[in-house]
Amino acid sequence: MIEFRNVSKQYTPDATALRDVSFTVAKGELVFLAGPSGAGKSTLLKMIAAVERPSAGQVIVNGQDIARIKPAAVPFLRRNLGLIFQQQRLLTDRSILANVMLPLLVTGASRAQAEQRARAALDKVGLLERADAQPLALSGGEQQRVSIARAIVNRPQVILADEPTANLDRASANKVLDALKAFHSVGVTCLISSHDEQMLDAAARVIHLKQGQLEVAA
Amino acid sequence: MTLWFRQHRYALAAALVHLRRSPGGFLFNILVVAIALALPFTGVTLLDNVRPMSEQLSVDPEISIFLKQDTPREQAEALAVPLRQTVRDKQAKIVFTPREKALEQLKDKSGLADVLTTLGENPLPDSYVLKLDAFRNAQAGGDVDQLAAQIRALPGVDTVQVDSAWVKRLAALLNVLRLALLLLAATLGTVVVAVIFNTIRLQVMTQREEILVSKLIGATDSFIHRPFYYTGALLGLCAGGVALGAVSLALRPLNVAIADFARLYASEFQLAPLPPLAMAGLLALSAGLGLIGALLSVQRHLSRLN
């Protein structure tokens, strides 16, 4: 499903984010990316979403080589990915329902269909009753759950979460993690970057990065 | 096709939502663009009103032919034959006016009967008036000049006066005005495109986060660009409507002044608003300018977000 073959990423001659990284994530796997800040976790996730392209090596996602993918094909690749960011990146000028509807509307779904599926997604993360609230009226944990709803509303094959629990208290972090595990349990491939020790201890597979290099691929 | 309509409806709705969020800015932009459009629209309205008048005036140009004072009456009357030969295939009405009749007409029309009586003898020559029917517009003025030259060469002819000369001047003036209007329209059209270019630039900056998030969740470039195109076109369309409305309103006080002036020439000339089809054309042109401004702005500013 996701394969890194000797991937390096160099932003400038002095700034190398990844060095010769190779690993594979099979379909339906739940994999954690661990490592200190600056280890290259975010760069790695950005490459899978075709936000960044490798300087060397190959990144294969759903059979597509990210280095060679045409710009016009990138949106269609991303529709099969659910992206969750550390800073939720919810649009504050509209309700959380409208935020969750957006991935469906960009694919051309009707408004009625988008609303129905967005409500179902919000229900799955326990926020249906707050559908009409504005993002800023929600706590950090709730906002992150909204961003999970937005990531899964398109029924993606892969969820990429970049430090989804970084700014949350333990209770909120557990809720977010439980939500992600719930989607993994129905066959969604999840790749989650984190430096939350408690979260990593319970993980079946952790990929450790340090200064852009693979440390341990469990 | 349903998907196509749905995406366009979404883009239009998104454009309207963003415009509604900052109504003050939108109205101000409409005002600026409308002012720029109002000038060429006024020019178009004036030309549209003057054009039929000039066309009507140019119909049936007349050539007045004054014979030499000492030309005997028989020779004067006989000149009708070579005149008719000169005119040949052109439809023309030849009217002979004897000098006595011309004097009578002058006395009747000028109110100078007493003065003319003191002259003793008739100072006016025999004359012909050629009313040409084949020259339907001022562009054919060159043909009239050629004809006048031929007539001037006929024996017994003293002076030939082409009464359509001023029509030619009017046509030339209208051509200059038309060209000036075209230049003005091009300049102000560029201003409109620049204003809308900047408006869309500001909107791209305001919606930066929305654009970036949309890209990350799989929005295509056309999905992101379309609302901006609608914004530009709507802005142009609304400004065009305001400009046309302003021009129509301005015609009322202008017509009061024109009516006073035209009355001096026994005319009832009034400026009329443009016909609906021409108005629709100008509105489409305004929307088109808005669209061009948006296209240029989106191409320049959204490509930087990639």
**What is the pLDDT at residue B260?**
84
| C-alpha distance across the termini of chain A, in Å | 17
Given a cut of 90, whether residue A130 has pLDDT beyond it is yes
Given a cut of 90, whether residue A165 has pLDDT beyond it is no
**What is the pLDDT at residue B20?**
85
What is the number of CB-based contacts under 8 A between chain A and chain B? Answer: 50
Give the Å distances, CA to CA, from B152 to A132, B63, B97, B269: 91, 11, 18, 37
Structural domains of chain B ordered from first start: 2-56+169-305 (no CATH), 62-163 (3.30.70.3040)
**What is the pLDDT at residue B58?**
47
Query: Which of B209, B212, B218 is nearest residue A79 as measured by Cβ atoms?
Result: B218
- Classify B49 as helix, strand or coil: helix
**A94 to chain B, minimum CA–CA distance in Å?**
11
Domain boundaries, chain A: 91-155
Residue (of A155, A121, A135) closest to A88 by Cα position? A135
Q: How many residues does chain A have?
A: 218
Q: How far apart (Å, rounded) are the C-alpha atoms in residues B84 and B92?
A: 8
**What is the pLDDT at residue A117?**
95
**What is the pLDDT at residue B133?**
66
Residue in chain B lying closest to A80 (CA): B218
Q: Are the beta carbons of A128 and A119 closer than 8 angstroms?
A: yes
Q: Which one of A74, A106, A154, A158 would you mutate to disrupt binding with B, by most B Cβ within 10 Å of its Cβ?
A: A106
What is the mean predicted confidence (pLDDT) over B17-32? 88
Sort strands A56-61 and A64-65 into parallel, antiparallel or unpaired.
Answer: antiparallel
Q: In what order do the strands lie in the sheet with A189-193?
A: A81-84, A158-162, A189-193, A30-34, A206-210, A213-217
Q: pLDDT tens, A28-82? A: 999 999 988 888 899 999 999 999 999 999 999 988 999 999 989 999 999 999 9
Given a cut of 60, whether residue B139 has pLDDT beyond it is no
3-class secondary structure for A9-61?
Answer: EEEECCEEEEEEEEEEECCCCEEEEECCCCCCHHHHHHHHCCCCCCCEEEEEE
Range of weakest confidence among A47-56, B5-14, B113-122 = B113-122
Tell me whether residues B216 and A83 touch, CB distance under 8 A: yes
**What is the pLDDT at residue B1?**
58
- Which residues in chain B touch residue A51, judged by CB atoms under 8 angstroms apart? 216
Tell me whether residues B218 and A150 touch, CB distance under 8 A: no
Given a cut of 50, whether residue A128 has pLDDT beyond it is yes
Given a cut of 80, whether residue B144 has pLDDT beyond it is no
Range of weakest confidence among A70-84, B38-52, B129-143, B197-211 = B129-143
What is the mean predicted confidence (pLDDT) over B81-105? 82
Residue (of A142, A138, A90, A99) closest to A118 by Cα position? A99
Q: How far apart (Å, rounded) are the C-alpha atoms in residues B39 and B62?
A: 37
Give the whole-number percent of chain B exceeding pLDDT 90: 31
Q: How far apart (Å, rounded) are the C-alpha atoms in residues B69 and B176?
A: 41
Given a cut of 50, whether residue B137 has pLDDT beyond it is no
Residue (of A37, A64, A63, A51) closest to A9 by Cα position? A51
Q: Are the beta carbons of B45 and B193 closer than 8 angstroms?
A: no
- Which residues in chain A touch residue B1, judged by CB atoms under 8 angstroms apart? none
pLDDT band at B138 (very low <50, low <70, confident <90, very high): very low
Q: How far apart (Å, rounded) are the C-alpha atoms in residues B290 and B283?
A: 11
Range of weakest confidence among A155-164, B12-21, B165-174, B221-230 = B165-174
Q: pLDDT tens, B37-86? A: 998 899 889 888 877 666 655 445 678 899 988 888 888 888 888 888 88
**pTM value surpassing 0.80:** no
pLDDT band at A216 (very low <50, low <70, confident <90, very high): low
Give the Å distances, CA to CA, from B124 to B79, B107, B131, B191: 18, 12, 20, 60
Give the whole-number percent of chain B exceeding pLDDT 70: 89
**What is the pLDDT at residue B109?**
65
ipTM of the complex: 0.89
**What is the pLDDT at residue B61?**
67
Q: In what order do the strands lie in the sheet with A15-25?
A: A15-25, A2-12, A56-61, A64-65
Given a cut of 50, whether residue A218 has pLDDT beyond it is no
Q: How far apart (Å, rounded) are the C-alpha atoms in residues A177 and A199?
A: 8
Tell me whether residues A106 and B219 touch, CB distance under 8 A: yes
What is the mean predicted confidence (pLDDT) over A147-157? 92
Q: Which one of B5, B217, B306 would you mutate to disrupt binding with A, by most A Cβ within 10 Å of its Cβ?
A: B217
Q: How far apart (Å, rounded) are the C-alpha atoms in residues A15 and A11?
A: 6
pLDDT band at B141 (very low <50, low <70, confident <90, very high): low
